[in-house]
Homo-oligomer: A and B are copies of this chain.
């Protein structure tokens, strides 16, 4: 099954140097081949989708849809796409630690071919994850279902390794103490997060939302791990990795994209506190982690338990810490009040304009309304 050993040490005396926080400009295959074997903790790949678009598409109001017509997304045949896919997958597997994991994202145009190649290359699939989009582009001609999701594959380099990183308790805490599921509902990348040029045109046709990478990196890496992205684009993977205190290695063939990524990364300030932890508690429809991910509550922000009550700090995975207590808003709320249980939603407040205390439950209600609207 495996075509080559995973993370094999080279017999050469001179090994490739370990990289960290580098953007390598050039061909992905060349740069991947030069990476030190067994040096990467996690790879995230957003490869060309091979969309095979034919002709233009217009909205009902006759405006033209800006499709992906870039040369890098065109392949002569499925066979050529498969050859390309198997090459970069093989090189990534070589660069990964044996217990390292790979994430790949794709749509129905390519994900089946990619998934087959992932298995044939010797990876062992752990999950497929569907990114359910809250705001996909409609189907303008009414000939199919609205294409409202993309698929991610999560796989470990070596099937026999069970010591891959999965922050189970962290993800469970993120999801308000319910196991995190394989369906992730997130909006597409738009608004201030979407990189645009002076004329307002999008800098990259397929920029991914940071929230998606945030969840991937929170789930499958530890602080200090190195994340490899062979199709770096405008650097979403690097931005999230840096913010979360992880290293990154990005490969991008387009120098313009690489320059944009470089500038973007310079503006990223890592979080001070990178601690994650999970804890058990009560189920809720909107996890606290979602409020943090969406920015309604900031990482590092102070929570106040009632008037002049205990204080706690918000952390990256939606866990909080108060003194020596850490865990979900519910667990820590219970601990600081010396109770057996506590509904964190109706206990903790955040300070908003003019120092007013706002209950977390009210923020949750606001987010519910936002998501329902």
Contacts and interface: CB of A to CB of B under 8 A. Distances in A.
A287 B324 CA distance: 62
A259 interface: no
Interface string A254-273: 00000000000000000000
A355 interface: no
B145 A62 contact: no
Nearest to A219: B145
Contacts of A339: 62
Interface stretch (A86-94, A174-182, A192-200): A174-182
Interface stretch (A4-12, A23-31, A118-126): A118-126
Contact of A78 (B120, B138, B341): B120
B130 A149 contact: yes
Contact of A139 (B78, B144, B179): B179
Interface in A114-166: 114-116, 118-120, 125-130, 132, 136, 138-139, 142-149, 151, 153-154, 162, 166
A169 B183 CA distance: 27
B151 A128 contact: yes
A172 B148 CA distance: 15
Contacts of A128: 107-108, 111, 149, 151
Nearest to A171: B145
A176 B280 CA distance: 38
A113 interface: yes
Given A62-B341, A108-B128, A132-B183, A144 B166 contact: yes
A339 B63 CA distance: 9
A106 to B, nearest CB: 10
Given A144-B127, A181-B148, A112 B108 contact: no
Interface residues of A, number: 54
A102 B97 CA distance: 40
Interface string A344-368: 0000000000000000000000000
A221 to B, nearest CB: 15
Contact of A115 (B115, B143, B148, B183): B115
A168 interface: yes
A370 interface: no
A147 B162 contact: no
Contacts of A130: 130, 132, 149, 151, 183
Contact of A146 (B113, B120, B126, B180): B180
Interface string A323-336: 00000000000000
Given A112-B118, A130-B130, A148-B182, 8 more contacts: A1-B78, A112-B114, A112-B115, A112-B153, A130-B132, A130-B183, A142-B168, A142-B172
Interface of A: 1, 58, 62, 78, 107-109, 111-116, 118-120, 125-130, 132, 136, 138-139, 142-149, 151, 153-154, 162, 166, 168-169, 171-172, 179-183, 219, 337, 339-342
Nearest first, the 6 closest Cβ-Cβ pairs linking A and B are: A112-B115, A108-B128, A148-B181, A142-B168, A62-B339, A116-B116
